[in-house]
Amino acid sequence: MPYIKIKLSNNGKKAFRLLMDELKISMSQAQKIIDKKRLFCDGKLVEEKNQFLNGLVELITYENNPKGLEVVFENDDFAVVEKPSGILTHPNGRNCIYSICDEIWHLWGEKACVAHRLDKETSGLLLIAKHKNTQIELKTMFEKRLIQKKYIALVKGKTKKEFAVDKKMDLAKNYDTIKTRMQICENGKEALTQFHTLEYFENLDASLVLAKPLTGRQHQIRLHLFHVKHKILGDPLYGLEKTQIEQILDGKMSELERIQITGAKRLLLHSFSLEFTYKNQKFLIQSQKNIKDDFISDIGNQKCIKNII
């Protein structure tokens, strides 16, 4: 989603009124644009909502850049899409040229928004609210844990058939200049994940597991598996040196080197299913991707896996 500057007509109106009239938006929406520092007059940032604008008025906005997205399910209130790995759920700044929002705003307009988030490298099902009321309702359902999510991951080593990790977690104090990371700590927030082994690949010494997070902490599945010595293959954060993390996040590490260090060219974690009741109707939506084959293809040189931490 490239950010661009567009010119607005100017007849000496107040900043918020000009935006309301030009963009056909509400006062609160106009004020929010000004608060986000997106309005300029003669090259100077407009910070006062009641400022009279006389001169060249420009607005920083964005152009949708859709590339195509697989829609798994859709009704009048929400949709479920397959998010590819390597794409941000939401634009993270003016340097972001593409995100899932490019797709959903192209398909359903700017009132549509994601109801939850997936990490950039996590693929799979993403729930989209088409309207503000739906967004509020779905967000409340997530907060009350009324939406059950399941993930599939390919991890290092042979896992038990059934196991659970019940370990509190919180923000890590180190690596904060690189990227947000979590840590296991006694004073953290409750975090519980149940796991079920689907298949063990002896030639890879790797297990395909189904993960059911019963709480919704950031990086919960990744950290819990790393804690029990079954790191998700391709993880660019946990178990790596600071310089390695920087190289991966900055795109300065080759695909082959990343495979050698982490076991895969991407994080092998996939949002597999969403289950919930909405307006008295039960929904069980599952990914149609052949994720096992996708994971295997992302491993590259399979011999590298046995040397992963």
Are residues 213 and 92 both part of a single domain?
no
State how far the alpha carbon of 24 is from the alpha carbons of 17, 19, 20, 30, 49, in Å: 10, 8, 5, 9, 17
Structure tokens at 110: 């700017």
Final residue in a domain of this structure, among 37, 62, 87 = 62
Which tokens belong to 157?
């080593």
Residue range of the domain that includes 166? 147-308
Q: Which residues of the chain have pLDDT under 70?
A: 1-3, 62, 92-96, 174-179, 301-309
What domain count does the chain have? 3
* CATH code, domain carrying 20: 3.10.290.10
DSSP state of 14: B
Angle 27-35/15-23 helices, nearest 10 degrees? 120
Closest CA to 155 of 235, 236, 242, 256: 235
User: Does one domain contain both 274 and 232?
Assistant: yes
118 and 166 share one domain: no
Q: What spatial distance separates the first Cα and last Cα of the chain, rounded to whole Å? A: 37
Instruction: Give the side-chain half-sphere CA count within 13 A for 57.
Output: 20
Same domain, 135 and 162: no
Residues 201, 74 share a domain: no
Instruction: Specify whether the CB–CB gap between 3 and 98 falls below 8 A.
Output: no
For tokens 């088409």, the residue is 130
Whether residues 53 and 181 share a domain: the answer is no
The residue out of 113, 144, 175 marking a domain boundary is 144
Report the predicted TM-score, pTM, of the whole model to 2 decimal places.
0.82
Q: Kindly state whether residues 289 and 182 are assigned to the same domain.
A: yes
DSSP state of 75: -
pLDDT at 302: 56
Convert the pLDDT of each residue in 201-255 to its tens digit: 999 999 999 999 999 999 999 999 999 999 999 999 999 988 999 899 888 999 9
Residues 188 and 290 in one domain: yes
CA distance 228 to 177: 26
Q: CATH number, domain at 106?
A: 3.30.2350.10
| Residue 39 and residue 152 share a domain | no
The amino acid at 154: L
Catalytic residue among 35, 76, 119, 235: 119
64 burial type by CB count under 10 A (0-12 exposed, 13-18 middle, 19+ buried): middle
Residues 297 and 222 in one domain: yes
- The yes-or-no answer on residue 119 being catalytic is yes
Position 309 scores a pLDDT of 52
Same domain, yes or no, for 160 and 266? yes
Q: Is the domain of 174 the same as that of 278? A: yes
pLDDT in tens, 165-174: 999 999 887 6
Could you say which of 144, 160, 185 is where a domain stops?
144
